[in-house]
């Protein structure tokens, strides 16, 4: 990936996250990236392709953290680590996750993939622990993760005490 290619990617991520995909013009991206507008299309084919490149780039960076959770064999620890996930979002990745959550509501197509494996590994964990309804418990974890992500990304709530409260409340401390 060229310097300018990365410039475009970062500029687009910033603008898509703050103004939305449709609210951002390729002209604005080019200006923010310090590049001619034509270059965007040379490298990413079209605006949609640029969005896909951003998501691939961000998910590749993030998939490590998902894998870390999935690979924990102790079910209790796996669940705890899953809950802790949104609390450990690298502030450098805030824009990426804001974009991902914004896309959730109007472009569900970018929601599949790594998330399904993640979900199944949680169902498995609750199953191992003998819970009556592992799917339901997993949905609860997803509720927590989405809710916490909303708080942290949108209202920059102080993460540490919130995490402690959750783990205590869930008798997972």
Interface residues with a copy of itself (CB under 8 A) are 18-23, 98, 101-102, 104-106, 108, 133, 136-137, 139-140, 142-148, 150-151, 154, 157, 161-162, 165-166, 169-170
| Helix ranges restricted to H, the chain | 3-19, 26-33, 37-44, 47-70, 75-84, 94-106, 114-128, 134-155, 159-169
Work out which of 11, 13, 17, 24 binds DNA, going by CB under 7 A. Answer: 24
Select the binding partner of residue 150 from DNA, a copy of itself, none (C-beta < 5 to 8 A, by kind): a copy of itself
Shortest Cβ 17–a copy of itself spacing (Å): 8
156 is written with which tokens?
Answer: 């920059």
Q: Check residue 56 for interaction with DNA (CB under 7 A).
A: no
Other CB atoms closer than 10 Å to residue 113's CB: what's the count?
12
Stretch that binds DNA, among 20-28, 80-88, 117-125, 165-173 (CB under 7 A): 20-28
C-alpha–C-alpha distance, residues 33 and 169, integer Å: 46
Helix (H) or strand (E) holding 91: none
Select the binding partner of residue 28 from a copy of itself, DNA, none (C-beta < 5 to 8 A, by kind): DNA
């Amino acid at each position: 990936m060229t310097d300018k290619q990365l410039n475009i990617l970062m500029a687009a991520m910033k603008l898509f996250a703050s103004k939305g995909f449709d609210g951002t013009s390729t002209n604005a991206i080019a200006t923010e990236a310090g590049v001619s507008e034509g270059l965007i299309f040379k490298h990413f084919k079209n605006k949609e392709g640029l969005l896909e490149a951003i998501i691939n780039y961000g998910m590749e960076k993030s998939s490590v953290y998902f894998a870390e959770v999935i690979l924990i064999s102790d079910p209790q620890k796996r669940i705890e680590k899953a809950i802790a996930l949104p609390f450990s979002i690298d502030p450098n990745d805030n824009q990426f996750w804001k974009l991902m959550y914004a896309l959730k509501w109007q472009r569900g197509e970018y929601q599949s993939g790594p998330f399904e494996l993640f979900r199944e590994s949680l169902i498995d964990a609750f199953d191992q622990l003998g819970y009556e309804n592992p799917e339901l418990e997993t949905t609860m974890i997803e509720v927590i993760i989405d809710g916490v992500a909303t708080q942290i990304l949108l209202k920059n709530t102080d993460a540490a005490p919130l995490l402690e409260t959750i783990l205590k409340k869930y008798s997972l401390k």
